[in-house]
Amino acid sequence: MKLPAYAVLLILCLSLFTSSVVAFDVIASLFRDRSCTAVLAPPMGLDQGVCAYSEDFNFYYNISTTSSGQARFNFGCKPGCVGCAEVGTTHYGSCMRFQLGSTEVFATAWRVDTSALLSATIYADPQCARQLPYGTITVQSGSCTYSQLLFNSVVAAQLDARDSPKSERIAFGLNCNQQCGFCSVYNRTAADLCTPVFNVYMKIKTAHF
């Protein structure tokens, strides 16, 4: 799919982003299929146990970790995440079925390694051999970084190795709202893999100092 040329501005101006102000430790998404590959609702960054609102389904929900380390989903809740219609527990990274009214959906959640520092570098070619002159930015994994110039945010997260294969260990969102609750572009990729983003290419990897 040809990516919109204008959107490269989001990447090329990364160096103008201000300090991170919002962080989360779980990414979750709803899917249409049992393999959790066909996205139904955009992935969301969450804090474990914090009640959030779904505009897509008009209900409140949260995700928490049980004493055994599993993900507990509370869907179809009232404000304050009480009286939830659908509750289920599964391993992080696993696909679980829920019935939301007349709609059958499937959900997955991944834990975020918030201790990691990630660096992102922009390139002009699909081999990531020609680095563009915008430098390398470093962000805290799971932190939402806001740009006063662009009036939107970006986020990158290193997922817990227990929940995600190496080929999808890095998650990122672009063109997000201020708290990164919604991003118009979302992808998961491997660390240090040359990944197309709009009309440029990007590598995200663990930063070393």
The pLDDT score that the predictor gives to residue 150 is 58
**98-104 contact pairs (CB < 8 A, 24+):** 98/73, 100/57, 100/59, 100/75, 100/76, 101/76
Quick one: which H or E segment has residue 12? Answer: helix 8-12
28 has pLDDT over 60 = yes
| Amino acid letter, 153 | S
Confidence of residue 13 (pLDDT cuts 50, 70, 90): very low
List the one residue out of 185, 165, 43 whose CA is nearest residue 94. 165
Confidence of residue 18 (pLDDT cuts 50, 70, 90): low
**Those residues with Cβ within 8 angstroms of residue 150's Cβ, 6 or more apart along the chain or in another chain:** 9, 10, 13, 16
Pairing of strands 131-140, 143-147: unpaired
pLDDT digits 0-9 by tens, 83-138 = 999 999 999 999 999 998 888 999 999 999 999 999 999 899 999 999 988 778 88
147 has pLDDT over 80 = no
Average of pLDDT values for 17-34? 80
HEC sequence for 101-155? CCEEEEEEEEEECCCCEEEEEEECCCCCCCEEEEEEEEEECCEEEEECCCCEEEE
7 has pLDDT over 80 = no
Query: Helix or strand or coil: residue 157?
Result: strand
Q: Does the predicted model carry a pTM greater than 0.75?
A: yes
